[in-house]
Amino acid sequence: MSKPTSTEIRLASRPTGWPTPENFETATVQLPDLAEGEVRVSNEYLSVDPYMRGRMNDAKSYAAPYALGEVMTGAAVGEVVESRAKGIALGDKVLHHLGWRSVSQGPAAAFRVVQEISGVPLSAYMGILGMTAYTAYVGLLEIARLKEGDIVFISGAAGAVGSAAGQIARLKGAARVIGSAGTDKKVALLKDKYGFDAAFNYKDAPVLEQLRAAAPEGIDVYFDNVGGDHLEAALSVFNRDGRAALCGSISSYNATEAPAGPRNMGNLITQGLSLKGYTVGFHPGLFPDFVKDMSAWLDSGEVVFEETVIEGLENAVHGFLELMRGANTGKMVIKL
Amino acid sequence: MSKPTSTEIRLASRPTGWPTPENFETATVQLPDLAEGEVRVSNEYLSVDPYMRGRMNDAKSYAAPYALGEVMTGAAVGEVVESRAKGIALGDKVLHHLGWRSVSQGPAAAFRVVQEISGVPLSAYMGILGMTAYTAYVGLLEIARLKEGDIVFISGAAGAVGSAAGQIARLKGAARVIGSAGTDKKVALLKDKYGFDAAFNYKDAPVLEQLRAAAPEGIDVYFDNVGGDHLEAALSVFNRDGRAALCGSISSYNATEAPAGPRNMGNLITQGLSLKGYTVGFHPGLFPDFVKDMSAWLDSGEVVFEETVIEGLENAVHGFLELMRGANTGKMVIKL
């Protein structure tokens, strides 16, 4: 029997501005035999996420940068095809963070066995039941301290985090939820599928103008996935004591020059506003609450979700680049 | 006996950019007889404060803008020269907010009787014992949630709020307190008089460069009186979970164009930073603690303060404009 192999995608060089396929390399490696306590997993879905762009830079951040030659690590789910670990059996479905490769193996502690839920794809453990939606949950409840009756604005609202945030805000008592997105189709989805009270296409007219029209009574909470003019607009329509959870700033991830900041920072003082940035890894405390809430919401149909599925490991880089351009609706995953 | 009069300074027109003397007008008015429950006060000191610049604009803010023709209101202290109110006697020293005029009168509720403390001028009730130092206290303790061991950076540190903030930070357990100011004389004062561990003249070299040198281990708390490049520099040297209290942004008060914001807002996300703006009027809760702490610190000599005294109501406008240019050390007051 020939030795098992894994095909993996590595960071080949650091991008300046927008990444290109040349920044990545694909290689097939032979896998060693499993040691005692290890498992081997045939991956079914890989996650591509905006935060990965930051790790491609050689810059101080919350997560260490990818080393050159390192596999693009990130969330993945698959099926156990060989196990020398107690408690993980052949055929178990597992979640892990070993990234963009066809087969992953390592110590059992690197893998978490998940239960398949009828009607919910396994990939949901990387999305609506996983880190993505938990990011929305933490941002609203712990960072922005959402209160009942708040008016909430979410940018990048048709993305995986944004669409979860909009639904969580509604279910946690927001009086009104407003979203922005970059295509008319996404805007329709926000209103018709995700239950946003108002939504606009930020490419149609200046964000500030559209946000003022959508939020005539101002906003209390801003969940920021975008940065740039969205953040500046939010600072201009905040009510007193407004709170922003800064989750992402996809408008600047591929910029080659430092983007200008909001020109209205003075509003923080006059309106008593707070801006708080975060990354979910530093806020694990609400995860049990999240799992309980989200499982119930999925079960009752109060939360719905979409995925944009790209087929084939060889298309992972393409999918990642499309994600940066906003081609996804909901969570983007690579299906192997 | 001729009717008593009061000379007052009013807002005559709204400035664009830097105010000029032409934006103000002086008038002498006859005062009506006191009604039952009213007092008349001969003012001894008037306060000039940076926040007054904001009220000269016709813009939404925490305090309503001054109306055209309205007296420049703000803190003042004086002596009661006539009283028809129970509990306020002739000769009492009182604090009030009726602003730039020689004589103030009104219902007793608008005046607070203060006790003269030996060695402390009456004007201290507008400064180190009043709103100014309380602003520093609230900013550090309630807004920035100063913890023992924090490294603290204060901009505009030789001003009335900044010099109080530096001393309060030290007395509340900061591991290291760093200040910036705009003259070498002020920098020397920060180190020699107010006990800052390090200080620099922001005009000598880029703020970021000087702050990095002064804070090789980064900063945990930033108390911002300045905005602009100071805020941007702070965002670049913050340690994880850094917290900024945004108290003022004197660098932009007289700007005619909206100033560019920090180009490194993304650090909020990667470092988990929070920026919170505030104005002291919305945070009255710590005032009793402040009075207790500050009275003890003044008594023990652990807190010291300076005043820049300008003589004469006719020089109030001049003093206010000089304050904007940073000509003051510590609290600027107008002595009548």
Instruction: Select from A61, A259, A270 the Cβ nearest to the Cβ of B270.
Output: A61
pLDDT in the model for residue B219? 98
- A272 and A147 in a common domain: yes
Residues of B in contact with A263 (CB under 8 A): 258-261
Residue B232 lies in a domain: yes
Backbone torsions φ then ψ of B161, nearest 5 degrees? -75, -45
CB-based contact B267 A273, cutoff 8 Å:
no
CB-based contact B276 A268, cutoff 8 Å:
yes
Under the banding of pLDDT at 50, 70 and 90, the label for residue A40 is very high
CATH number of domain containing A194: 3.40.50.720
What is the complex's ipTM, to 2 decimals? 0.89
Residue A261's closest chain B neighbor by CA?
A: B261
Q: Is the model's pLDDT at B1 over the cut of 70? A: no
pLDDT in the model for residue B256? 76
- What percent of chain B is predicted at pLDDT more than 70? 99
Residue A329 lies in a domain: yes
- A136 and A269 in a common domain: yes
Instruction: Select from A62, A264, A270 the Cβ nearest to the Cβ of B62.
Output: A270
Residues of B in contact with A227 (CB under 8 A): 265-266
Residue A144's closest chain B neighbor by CA?
A: B274
What's the Cα-to-Cα distance from A289 to each of A120, A137, A141, rounded to whole Å?
A: 20, 10, 11
pLDDT in the model for residue B62? 60
pLDDT in the model for residue B94? 97
pLDDT in the model for residue B168? 98
Residue A298 lies in a domain: no
- B135 and B123 in a common domain: no
- B119 and B213 in a common domain: no
CB-based contact B247 A258, cutoff 8 Å:
no
- What percent of chain A is predicted at pLDDT more than 90? 86
- What percent of chain A is predicted at pLDDT more than 70? 99
Q: Mind listing the pLDDT tens digit for each residue in B294-329?
A: 999 999 999 999 999 999 999 999 999 999 888 888
Is residue B271 within 8 angstroms of chain A, CB to CB?
yes
Q: How far is A220 from chain B (nearest CA, A)?
A: 14
Contacts of B192 (CB under 8 A, 6+ apart): none
Contacts of B282 (CB under 8 A, 6+ apart): A272, B62
- Mean pLDDT on A102-109: 96
CB-based contact A249 B266, cutoff 8 Å:
yes
**Range name among A71-85, A193-207, A243-257, B239-253 with the lowest pLDDT average:** A243-257
Under the banding of pLDDT at 50, 70 and 90, the label for residue B60 is low
* Number of independent structural domains in chain A: 2
Q: Is the model's pLDDT at A64 over the cut of 80? A: no
Q: How far is A253 from chain B (nearest CA, A)?
A: 9
- B159 and B257 in a common domain: yes
**Range name among A125-139, A229-243, B49-63 with the lowest pLDDT average:** B49-63
**Range name among B111-120, B170-179, B223-232, B248-257 with the lowest pLDDT average:** B248-257
- A41 and A110 in a common domain: yes
- A319 and A243 in a common domain: no
- B146 and B270 in a common domain: yes
Q: Which of B:9-68 have CB within 8 Å of A?
A: 54, 60-62
Under the banding of pLDDT at 50, 70 and 90, the label for residue A152 is very high
Residue A115 lies in a domain: yes
- In sequence order, the β-bridge partners of residue B120 are B117
Under the banding of pLDDT at 50, 70 and 90, the label for residue B38 is very high
Distance of alpha carbon A93 from alpha carbon A236, whole angstroms: 47
Q: How far is B76 from chain A (nearest CA, A)?
A: 23
Domain range spanning residue B246?
131-282
Q: Mind listing the pLDDT tens digit for each residue in B143-191?
A: 999 999 999 999 999 999 999 999 999 999 999 999 999 999 999 999 9
CB-based contact A275 B268, cutoff 8 Å:
yes
- A240 and A184 in a common domain: yes
pLDDT in the model for residue A194? 97
Q: Mean pLDDT in chain A?
A: 94
pLDDT in the model for residue B11? 95
Residue A299 lies in a domain: no
Q: pLDDT: is A181 or B327 the higher one?
A: A181
Residue B290 lies in a domain: no
Residue A113 lies in a domain: yes
CB-based contact A274 B271, cutoff 8 Å:
no
- Mean pLDDT on A124-148: 97
Residue A297 lies in a domain: no
- Mean pLDDT on A322-329: 88
CATH number of domain containing A61: 3.90.180.10
Instruction: Select from B227, B247, B274 the Cβ nearest to the Cβ of A275.
Output: B274
Under the banding of pLDDT at 50, 70 and 90, the label for residue A318 is very high
What's the Cα-to-Cα distance from B299 to each of A131, B95, B171, rounded to whole Å?
A: 55, 21, 14
- A116 and A29 in a common domain: yes
Q: Is the model's pLDDT at A63 over the cut of 80? A: no
CB-based contact B270 A54, cutoff 8 Å:
yes
Residues of B in contact with A261 (CB under 8 A): 232, 260-265
CB-based contact B62 A279, cutoff 8 Å:
no
- Mean pLDDT on A139-150: 98
- A273 and A136 in a common domain: yes
- B165 and B120 in a common domain: no
Q: Is the model's pLDDT at B200 over the cut of 60? A: yes
Q: Mind listing the pLDDT tens digit for each residue in B256-304?
A: 777 889 999 999 999 999 999 999 999 999 999 999 999 999 999 999 9
